């Protein structure tokens, strides 16, 4: 299942609706949806913010594969920007030393099982994988789904 979205944060409502439809069609535990919403939002917003010169739409592709949910975002005709190369945020710093920003990729790393980046032919693709953990309704909600 895939769809392209205008490169604007105003696309987020449409993206969340698309993700909800995917969960319904695939009968995936809705308790996992906040995690996928958040990771897709963070990666999409990164693409919007860090390739401001781009004017093409961003493609979101989602599939269920071998017990995993696989979601990939592709930005077309852009310079290379690999968010996985960004150093992780130090969340132990005192408040005075904390700087707003940079938390997005940190949260994505915490919540998914893998995060991969590919760049070729001026196409930037980032893919996340998240284990579905059994039957729908098996309890991937609340505090249970976050990876330590």
Q: Helices (DSSP H) in 27-102: which residue ranges?
A: 33-50
From the CB of 95, what's the least distance to another protein, in Å?
A: 4
Please choose, out of 20-28, 53-61, 64-72, 107-115, the segment that lies near another protein by the rule CB under 8 A. 107-115
**What are the residues whose beta carbons fall under 8 Å from the beta carbon of 43, sequence distance 6 or more?**
73, 83, 104, 108, 126, 128
Segment 114 to 133, residues that bind another protein, using CB under 8 A: none
Q: Between 35 and 64, how does the x/- string for binding to another protein read (CB under 8 A)?
A: --xx--xx--x-------------------
Would you tell me how many other CB atoms lie within 10 Å of the CB of residue 142?
Answer: 9
Which lies closer to another protein via its Cβ, residue 70 or residue 103?
103
- Residues of this chain that interact with another protein (CB under 8 A) are 9-10, 12-13, 16, 34, 37-38, 41-42, 45, 89, 91-96, 98, 100-104, 106-107, 110-111, 141-143, 146
């Amino acid at each position: 299942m895939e769809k392209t979205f205008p490169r604007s944060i105003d696309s987020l409502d449409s993206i969340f609706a698309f993700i909800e439809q995917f969960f319904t069609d695939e009968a995936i535990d809705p308790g996992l949806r906040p995690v996928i919403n958040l990771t897709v939002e963070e990666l999409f917003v990164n693409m919007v913010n860090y390739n401001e010169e781009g004017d093409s739409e961003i493609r979101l592709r989602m599939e269920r594969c071998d017990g995993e949910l696989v979601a990939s975002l592709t930005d077309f005709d852009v310079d290379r920007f690999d968010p996985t190369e960004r150093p992780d945020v130090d969340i132990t710093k005192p408040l005075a030393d904390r700087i707003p920003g940079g938390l997005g990729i940190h949260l994505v790393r915490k919540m998914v099982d893998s995060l991969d980046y590919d760049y070729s032919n001026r196409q930037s693709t980032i893919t996340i994988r998240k284990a579905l953990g059994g039957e729908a309704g098996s309890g991937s909600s609340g505090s249970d789904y976050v990876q330590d």
